[in-house]
């Protein structure tokens, strides 16, 4: 055991040293001469406090992997400790595998040191250019959920999640401890959480750092874990023994479950590791305690370039690791003892195959033909079904066709029934492995619907699942998917870079269904009305974010098929959960998807006087009613209808093949007025139009204007001026201004429909529902 400890200590010394050089040095990387101000970078950046803990855990995990030939991934929550992770990736050789310009040489040590947090060098946080990384961890809180996502349907995989005690104060992490109740040890891998309690955040103590050991054990026992605390003297021996105990506990639980034993409370291990913040670093400086205090969180001795006392402290710190004993400059290699701690290539955490994507881990879904679920559209505008019910039937078939592959899951924050996706329960259930009651419905240990009332943790589960090569879809109320906007932003940034990294293979797309939109949340009121997620995701510049607006149930089938077939994208589908009309066949919808927008010939005239355009099912219907009314009130007026099926940050259509700017007139004519009815905020679509043309005066955009309450469905359209009557009045006034109709005709139209609006308001206040004139409308053309 003592020999093992000595090997571990040497390995940690090497990675600690390299962590410090990355933060401070631009020269003199082996400390072959006295450190000078010229050796210090002009900006010293990084977060030292967490690094020694990362290095300690990484070395210990390497030893465990070697002993048992483990398939293990390592996810760090405090991604700001990237100097430590990069040091380990360099020492174990994973960094050199993906970057052939690097080797175990002085030149490469200098390169990774100087280029850390350097312009056009290595980022300051975990990032997709680093092998083995599927979580950046710059925004704290998502490591545990992402780890659980990675082990789903990966029965032999163990993911060690290192969670900082500052990160553990975040809401997402607090909820993520409960994901263990959804994980069946029979057919999934295991997460080994290591809570690194080093006592301090950036400027003060952590909550966990001030809890007693008894309180910590009680807390995590209540959460469903067997907590082991590692601290104090002989910590290398204690950690090695505790990791072995945790590993054996995991395998015992899994083995029993796979032999058929049913657990009411499968209690997996977790480790609470207590070390001093900034362990092995500067102890005191300028009379202030550094090691074991918040002062070591970022860069101690930040003024080393200009302050001789701080420069001396950094030199003493670096020399304390005796790196010259651990690296042979002449041989360009580390000491043999260091290599003894490195697992073989196929077992290195930095080279874990699950983190690389590509054909080895990313298998395509077997998808049903969407036409098999098609509703017959004998004429456009016929009464159809609920889009989400059709989506649920299609997704149920996806589950059935991939039952053996076990590579598809659905995430749902306690809303699968509400969102009308319950047809999936014909072939699967909601996952839950803790005690069940006889009256519980559609729930069990082998369920593939991950239902938890925490959007953050479902997002984390989906990211971990998708980034390790499997397929998922996240269904949410549109208003509350905003909870994960920042997570989605972080993922989009990760994906944007990952798509350009040569050694990263393809991965499935991240897919969302946004339903229960504000347009159908009149009963729940203003709090449930928010299309902001669409607006946010359209800011993601690049060719990989698509927002889909299927106009009916057949269209959502075509959209789902495309989204689930795609790779390396983010697909967002906005669809209704209420019964409405069908306009298109599946084949017509598929053709519309190719361009992203399409002219509906059955609702359009040649050489139109005016163009209506809509994105979204409810908004499409209001446009179609407006067209129908125009043909009744102004039969001489010619109109065109354009349906927007896809938007991206690049414009109309899918991001990969958006509409060229020169083809805008093909759909919207060269000079005729265009009235848009948009599912989201008007400004969202206006910014798309602005990119197409500097002259947008002929375009008018209607959409959600933050006007809502508990009201009726149609009154939501009225309040936001997206109703058929508002569209018709604007059309009449626009046509009059262009001389297509007379001012008198426009005035007559305005008076007629202003009166209808007034009558409608009085009617719903008296009867509590929309009048039959609204609810019984049928397409007559």
Nearest to 675 by CA among 705, 639, 645, 633: 639
Domain closes at, from 301, 320, 351: 351
C-beta atoms surrounding 444 within 10 Å: 14
Confidence at residue 516, expressed as pLDDT on a 0 to 100 scale: 83
CA distance 429 to 625: 40
Asked if the structure places residue 360 within a domain, the reply is no
- In terms of domains, do 378 and 248 share one? no
Asked if the structure places residue 127 within a domain, the reply is yes
- Residue whose tokens read 């029979």: 186
Confidence at residue 381, expressed as pLDDT on a 0 to 100 scale: 81
CA distance 144 to 574: 29
Counting other chains too, the contacts that 249-258 makes at CB distance below 8 Å and 24 or more residues apart are 250/158, 250/190, 250/192, 253/185, 253/190, 254/155, 254/185, 254/186, 254/190, 256/185, 257/184, 257/185, 257/186, 258/185, 258/186
DSSP alpha helix (H) spans, 402-537? 455-467, 485-498, 532-537
C-beta atoms surrounding 687 within 10 Å: 13
- In terms of domains, do 271 and 310 share one? yes
Confidence at residue 431, expressed as pLDDT on a 0 to 100 scale: 96
Asked if the structure places residue 76 within a domain, the reply is yes
Kind of pairing, strands 646-648 and 651-652? Answer: antiparallel
Number of domains in the chain: 3
CA distance 198 to 277: 5
- In terms of domains, do 36 and 95 share one? yes
CA distance 57 to 240: 10
User: Which two three-digit tokens encode residue 615?
Assistant: 């994105």
- In terms of domains, do 118 and 194 share one? yes
Domain closes at, from 548, 581, 614: 581
What are the tens digits of pLDDT across the range 748-780? 999 999 999 999 999 999 999 999 999 889 887
DSSP class of 27: S
CA distance 720 to 726: 9
Do residues 272 and 216 lie in contact, with contact meaning Cβ atoms separated by under 8 Å?
Answer: yes
Domain closes at, from 316, 351, 386: 351
- In terms of domains, do 551 and 611 share one? no
What are the tens digits of pLDDT across the range 445-462? 999 999 999 999 999 999
pLDDT lower than 70: segments of the chain:
657
Asked if the structure places residue 294 within a domain, the reply is yes
Indicate the helix (H) or strand (E) that contains 557: helix 553-565
Q: Which domain covers residue 170, as residue numbers?
A: 2-351
Tell me the backbone φ, ψ of residue 191, rounded to 5 degrees: -105, 130
- In terms of domains, do 753 and 673 share one? yes
pTM: 0.95
CATH number at residue 462: 3.40.50.970
- In terms of domains, do 323 and 407 share one? no
CA distance 54 to 61: 10
DSSP class of 127: -
Confidence at residue 445, expressed as pLDDT on a 0 to 100 scale: 93
CATH number at residue 733: 3.40.50.920
CA distance 98 to 355: 13
Confidence at residue 532, expressed as pLDDT on a 0 to 100 scale: 84
Strands (E), 478-582: 510-515, 545-548, 570-574, 579-582
- In terms of domains, do 324 and 408 share one? no
Confidence at residue 579, expressed as pLDDT on a 0 to 100 scale: 75
Do residues 467 and 150 lie in contact, with contact meaning Cβ atoms separated by under 8 Å?
Answer: yes
Confidence at residue 194, expressed as pLDDT on a 0 to 100 scale: 98
User: Is the backbone of residue 535 left (phi > 0), alpha (psi -120 to 50) or beta?
Assistant: alpha
CA distance 134 to 129: 10
User: Mapping DSSP to helix (H, G, I), strand (E, B) and coil, where does residue 354 land?
Assistant: helix
- In terms of domains, do 337 and 387 share one? no
CA distance 490 to 484: 10
Asked if the structure places residue 92 within a domain, the reply is yes
- In terms of domains, do 429 and 284 share one? no
Give the alpha-carbon dihedral of 193, 198, 202, 203, to 10 degrees.
Answer: 140
Confidence at residue 209, expressed as pLDDT on a 0 to 100 scale: 96
- In terms of domains, do 124 and 89 share one? yes
Asked if the structure places residue 441 within a domain, the reply is yes
Do residues 143 and 177 lie in contact, with contact meaning Cβ atoms separated by under 8 Å?
Answer: no
């Amino acid at each position: 055991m003592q020999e093992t400890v000595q090997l571990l200590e040497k390995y940690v010394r090497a990675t600690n040293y390299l962590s410090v050089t990355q933060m401070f040095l631009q020269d003199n990387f082996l400390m072959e001469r006295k450190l000078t101000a010229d050796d210090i970078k002009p900006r010293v950046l990084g977060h030292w406090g967490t690094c020694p803990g990362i290095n300690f855990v990484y070395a210990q995990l390497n030893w465990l992997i070697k002993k048992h030939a483990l398939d293990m991934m390592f996810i760090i929550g405090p991604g700001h400790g990237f100097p430590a992770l990069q040091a380990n990736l360099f020492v174990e050789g994973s960094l050199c595998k993906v970057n052939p310009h690097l080797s175990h040489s002085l030149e490469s040590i200098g390169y990774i040191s100087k280029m850390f947090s350097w312009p056009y060098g290595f980022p300051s946080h975990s990032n997709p250019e680093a092998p083995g990384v599927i979580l950046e961890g710059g925004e704290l809180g998502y490591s545990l959920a992402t780890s659980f996502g990675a082990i789903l349907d990966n029965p032999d995989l163990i993911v060690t999640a290192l969670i900082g005690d500052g990160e553990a104060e975040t809401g997402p992490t607090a909820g993520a401890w409960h994901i263990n109740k959804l994980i069946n040890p029979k057919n999934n891998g295991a997460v080994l959480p290591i809570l690194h309690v080093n006592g301090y955040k950036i400027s003060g103590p952590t909550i966990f750092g001030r809890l007693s050991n008894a309180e910590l054990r009680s807390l995590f026992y209540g959460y469903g874990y067997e907590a082991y605390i590692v601290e104090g003297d002989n910590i290398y021996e204690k950690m090695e023994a505790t990791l072995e105990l945790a590993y054996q506990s995991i395998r015992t639980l899994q083995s029993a479950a796979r032999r058929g034993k049913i657990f009411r409370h499968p209690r997996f291990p977790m480790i609470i590791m207590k070390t001093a913040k900034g362990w092995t670093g500067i102890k005191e400086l300028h009379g202030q305690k550094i090691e074991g205090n918040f002062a070591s969180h970022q860069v101690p001795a930040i003024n080393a370039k200009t302050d001789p006392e701080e420069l001396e402290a950094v030199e003493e710190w670096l020399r304390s690791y005796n790196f010259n004993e651990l690296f042979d400059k002449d041989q360009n290699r580390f000491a043999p003892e260091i290599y003894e701690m490195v697992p073989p290539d196929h077992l290195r955490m930095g080279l874990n195959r699950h983190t690389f994507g590509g054909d080895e881990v990313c298998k395509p879904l077997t998808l049903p033909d969407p036409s098999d679920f098609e509703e017959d559209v004998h004429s456009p505008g016929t009464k159809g079904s609920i889009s989400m019910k059709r989506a649920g039937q299609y997704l149920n078939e996806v589950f059935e066709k991939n039952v053996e592959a076990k590579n598809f899951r659905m995430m749902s924050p306690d809303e699968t029934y509400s969102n009308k996706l319950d047809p999936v329960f014909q072939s699967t259930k909601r996952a839950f492995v803790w005690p069940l009651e006889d009256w519980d419905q559609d729930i069990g240990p082998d369920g593939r619907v991950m239902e938890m009332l925490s959007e953050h943790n479902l997002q984390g589960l989906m990211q971990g699942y998708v980034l390790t090569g499997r397929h998922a879809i996240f269904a949410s109320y549109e208003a509350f998917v905003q909870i994960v906007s920042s997570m989605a932003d972080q993922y989009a940034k990760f994906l944007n870079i990952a798509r350009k990294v040569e050694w990263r293979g393809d991965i499935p797309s991240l897919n969302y269904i946004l339903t229960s939109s504000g347009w159908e949340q009149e009963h729940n009121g203003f709090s449930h009305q928010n299309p902001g997620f669409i607006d946010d995701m359209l800011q993601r510049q690049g060719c990989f974010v698509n927002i889909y607006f299927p106009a009916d149930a057949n269209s959502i089938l075509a959209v789902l098929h495309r989204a689930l077939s795609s790779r390396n994208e983010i697909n967002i589908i906005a669809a209704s959960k209420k019964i409405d009309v069908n306009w298109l066949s599946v084949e017509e919808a598929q053709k519309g998807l190719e361009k992203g927008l399409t002219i509906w010939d059955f609702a359009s005239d040649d050489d139109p006087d005016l163009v209506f355009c809509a994105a979204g099912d409810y908004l499409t219907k209001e446009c179609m009613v407006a067209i129908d009314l125009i043909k009744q009130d102004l039969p001489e007026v010619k109109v065109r209808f354009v349906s927007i099926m896809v938007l991206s940050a690049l414009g109309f259509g899918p991001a990969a093949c958006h509409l060229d700017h020169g083809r805008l007139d093909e759909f919207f004519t060269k000079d005729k007025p265009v009235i848009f009815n948009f599912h989201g905020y008007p400004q969202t679509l206006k910014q798309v139009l602005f990119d197409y043309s500097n002259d947008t005066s002929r375009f008018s955009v209607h959409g959600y204007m933050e006007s809502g309450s508990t009201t009726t469905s149609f009154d939501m359209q009225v309040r936001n001026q997206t109703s058929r009557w508002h569209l018709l009045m604007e059309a009449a006034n626009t046509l009059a201004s262009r001389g297509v109709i007379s001012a008198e005709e426009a005035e007559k139209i305005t008076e007629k429909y202003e009166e209808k609006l007034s009558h409608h308001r009085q009617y719903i206040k008296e009867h509590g529902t929309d009048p039959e004139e609204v609810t019984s409308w049928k397409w007559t053309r």
